[in-house]
Amino acid sequence: MATLQFSVNPIRAEAFPRRNSMSALIDLAGGSCSKLRLWKICRTVKSRPLRNRRSFAVKNVSSSEATEILKDSGSREEVTTNLSPLPDAASIASSIKYHAEFTPMFSPENFDLPSAFFATAQSVRDALIINWNATYDYYERLNVKQAYYLSMEFLQGRALLNAVGNLELTGPYAEALNNLGHKLEQVACQEPDAALGNGGLGRLASCFLDSLATLNYPAWGYGLRYKYGLFKQRITKDGQEEVAEDWLEMGNPWEIVRNDVSYPVKFYGKVVPGSDGKNHWIGGEDIKAVAHDVPIPGYKTKTTINLRLWSTKAASEDFDLYAFNAGKHTEAYEALTNAEKICYILYPGDESIDGKILRLKQQYTLCSASLQDIIARFERRSGGAVNWEQFPEKVAVQMNDTHPTLCIPELMRILIDIKGLSWKDAWNITQRSVAYTNHTVLPEALEKWSLDLMEKLLPRHVEIIKMIDEELVESIIAEYGTADSNLLEKKLKEMRILENVELPAAYADLFVKPKETVVIPGEELQNSEEAEEEEEEEEEAIGEKDGTDESLIEDKKEELPEAVPEPPKLVRMANLCVVGGHAVNGVAEIHSEIVKDEVFNSFYKLWPEKFQNKTNGVTPRRWIRFCNPNLSKIINEWLQTNDWVLNTEKLAELRKFADNEDLQTQWREAKRSNKMKVVEFLREKTGYSVSPDAMFDIQVKRIHEYKRQLLNILGIVYRYKKMKEMSAEERNAKYVPRVCIFGGKAFATYVQAKRIVKFITDVGATINHDPEIGDLLKVVFVPDYNVSVAEVLIPASELSQHISTAGMEASGTSNMKFAMNGCLLIGTLDGANVEIREEVGADNFFLFGAKAHEIAGLRKERAEGKFVPDPRFEEVKEFVRSGAFGPYNYDELMGSLEGNEGFGRADYFLVGKDFPSYIECQEKVDEAYRDQRTWTRMSILNTAGSHKFSSDRTIHEYARDIWNIDPVQIP
């Protein structure tokens, strides 16, 4: 029997004949290769049993016979595999040397660290590509239902250690590189973090991809390939400085450009009816979205899924050669530049109209290119006859926040205008295929777009959105009737997709109120007419007396009120998501309740079956197994297994050892070893020297007022002030030594957040150079916080701060990572903190602050002038204003915490309200830390209690409750 062969390019399988394995390997080697080289590739990636093998050479079944088996039996038949050992260090070293010589990105004479990284990454990619092709070839033949995860962010971090770890090749690669004169860890540090995300939204998406691959779910990620990402953060004497990220400067060894996979994306133009009865979107600006694929390997499985990133470009003919030769160089490049800049940076500033247009172009490019690709795959897998009714049975599209909302009108446009479906059928298919994850309750993050701008940029989509809005209006009227016009008007105002837009023509008369007519009796009418005549005569007399001076006449007239500007017409993207999808989920229990009770309450009452909770999770592979090998080794030893990496429920078994002195000793040693790495890291990155004997107190996340880094630093200022008022003996007796570490980026145009960064760095500069304080207190802001920095800081953390204003953090995921690594949390009852506290135990969580249900009342109390600030809070603000931390004027920052109303004032995020309970809770932290035996026990229980916060659990729930997909084991 012939060997089962697979297509080298699973994405466009129909374009390739089925070829033998040698041909496939030749393709991998770049089209030409010696037999020795092929032997080395084969040696590099060997076949292993299910969940323990990385590639396969299938015997005894031809490809056509295998396909028939799959079709006829309807089951996934086991296929015999060759059993071979893992590649050894020698064959891996050979592969690395080959890439250094024949696929180099550096001069061949030096095999330095950068060169070693690229050659090693390309060696690993050889293994990934084989599994990757096998995965998608299998999905193609089975025609399985597939989930597609659309996100504007994927915060991946470095890929090398994660890839070799998931492939279970860490040891062999470490030995191979050692034989070549390098350390694996040093080589891995050469890799820049992929600048494809900003914060938790993007890191969650990347954790999800890891879990999808590990759990063998057929899925794909879609995003944009940002050339510069968000920005690289530098910390100067002026605070945060933004510079362009250079992550692609030396190339990306993990990606494969699919020049044969590109799709047209249109902007502007106009919609005209055609003779065929369809609407046609014509004219405008046309660009191309080109696919760049990044393989995502699962852990202990051959399944390797895909992250497809789109770059944008214009056609070559759009380069104006005539203008260039005429010396008009900028004009000649205009079309090319306009296309390419769409994928320049993540979240371009949208203060200007051009910035808003660019952001909307980004969102539409992601949606349009991805849906065209999804539909092409569906049609190919369907064969000759495409049954569109089956589309929701084969496709699940998950919108990660509101950024991909345009998926809804875009899918409708393609189905109606291009595929010829009726509105009813297209709407049914769209609603059954699309689902929405809400990540925020903040109004500014529930996107609203100018209707006029969208109508200009995407005219056909606005037509479709208006029709969806009209159907929604019809549903609301059907639900609430017209008897209570006030109630109906309220519901329409809350729920409509179009805000400040007149009702559709069919309902235009629904709320028309009759004009009031005033009946004036005859005598009064006559008197009023006489009065008008007298007024006119008086004005004429004044005019004659003063010549052309009209001012007195104008003064005598009643002043007219200023015209009130019409409110802007907006498209509410979150409302469109709820209406257009079949499922809406929050990302923590408390957040999902707020979504139902407040954010989308009217929708919840109308469609309660749509709303779900899916508490976030993080991958235990990256966030314990790989970033904290010291702790992982201890867990393996005490649980007598490493199965917890795939089944985190086993971590709960650590509870029974929490009081064991031997475990506690090992636990503390592992923590100290991790802290020593951070000591060196901080010295290198910031120049500050800190003591590993101090408590490491860390808050790392996006800088935002609601996350309340300001509360943290004001607490530190209070601590410092009290220290300065004491003798050295008193200070040492009262306070536990602390290193307070901050990290995170403030958005470039978020002035208040940038003030907070400046304030933290100024406080640090003062405290860290105060000889009286010494190692008793240090404050360090780590520049350019990213995934790789987190992988260093989190294993060393002892206390982490998750102190957002209650009810404002949807979930958070860094709290889960810290808990997994045995870090104690101080925080409010907000987001996933609530569930973490339940799991780790209330005694092992430092709780403070107002509750979510109290926030509205507290803000109302403030507005009424009833809030009385704590004297300690007033003391801290006065200390800041005294100039203790340098000459910078912090009146604006402190002023935001004062007053009872007004934008940027009135302490909207309740820093002052929670300040007293926060500093009192910090005193409890000091007390607990003094007893290291108790603290270590709490630390162990935090790791044990984190067992429910694996992204594997979250993905199982999405697959079961929203996507309706099953795992598919690759043979």
Residue positions annotated with a catalytic role? 439, 701-702, 707, 813, 817
How far, CA to CA in Å, does 784 sit from each of 480, 758, 781, 843? 52, 14, 9, 34
Are residues 84 and 47 in contact, defined by beta-carbon separation less than 8 angstroms?
yes
Give the CA count within 13 Å in the CB-facing half-sphere of 184.
Answer: 20
10 Å CB burial of residue 486 (0-12, 13-18, 19+) is exposed
- At 360, list the tokens: 């909307």
- At 673, list the tokens: 């070893």
> Most distant CA pair in the chain: distance in Å?
116
Helix (H, G, I), strand (E, B) or coil at 468: helix
- At 524, list the tokens: 């009064």
In the numeric block, the tokens 């910031």 are attached to: 686
> How far, in Å, CA of 740 to CA of 890, rounded?
21
Are residues 959 and 218 in contact, defined by beta-carbon separation less than 8 angstroms?
no
How far, CA to CA in Å, does 603 sit from each of 4, 426, 461, 744? 52, 22, 23, 35
> How far, in Å, CA of 159 to CA of 945, rounded?
28
Query: Which candidate, 885, 871, 849, 870, places its Cα nearest to that of 720?
Result: 885
SS (H, E, C) 740-763: EEEECCCCCCCHHHHHHHHHHHHH
Are residues 391 and 425 in contact, defined by beta-carbon separation less than 8 angstroms?
no
Helix (H, G, I), strand (E, B) or coil at 793: helix
Question: Which residues, in sequence order, are bridge partners of residue 242?
Answer: 233
Beta-strand relationship, 239-243 and 232-236: antiparallel
Residue 69: phi, psi to the nearest 5?
Answer: -60, -45
> How far, in Å, CA of 212 to CA of 144, rounded?
15
Query: Which candidate, 895, 910, 892, places its Cα nearest to that of 850?
Result: 910
Q: Over the Cα atoms of the chain, what is R_g?
A: 32
Beta-strand relationship, 146-150 and 219-224: parallel
Residue 96 CB: number of other CB atoms within 10 A? 27
Question: Which residues, in sequence order, are bridge partners of residue 229?
Answer: 345
> How far, in Å, CA of 401 to CA of 363, rounded?
12
Give the list of residues 6+ apart from residue 513 with CB closer than 8 angstroms, or none.
Answer: none
Are residues 208 and 241 in contact, defined by beta-carbon separation less than 8 angstroms?
no
Give the DSSP letter string of 546-612.
HTT--HHHHHHSPPPPPPPPPPPPEEEHHHHHHHH-S-EEESSHHHHHHIIIIITHHHHHH-GGGEE
Give the list of residues 6+ apart from residue 187 with CB closer than 8 angstroms, or none.
Answer: 113, 116, 117, 120, 160, 177
> How far, in Å, CA of 962 to CA of 436, rounded?
10
SS (H, E, C) 137-157: HHHHHHCCCEEEEECCCCCCC
Q: What is the DSSP letter of 618?
A: B
Length of the chain: 971
Q: What is the DSSP letter of 625?
A: I
Question: Measured between alpha carbons, how far apart are the two ends of the chain, in Å?
Answer: 18
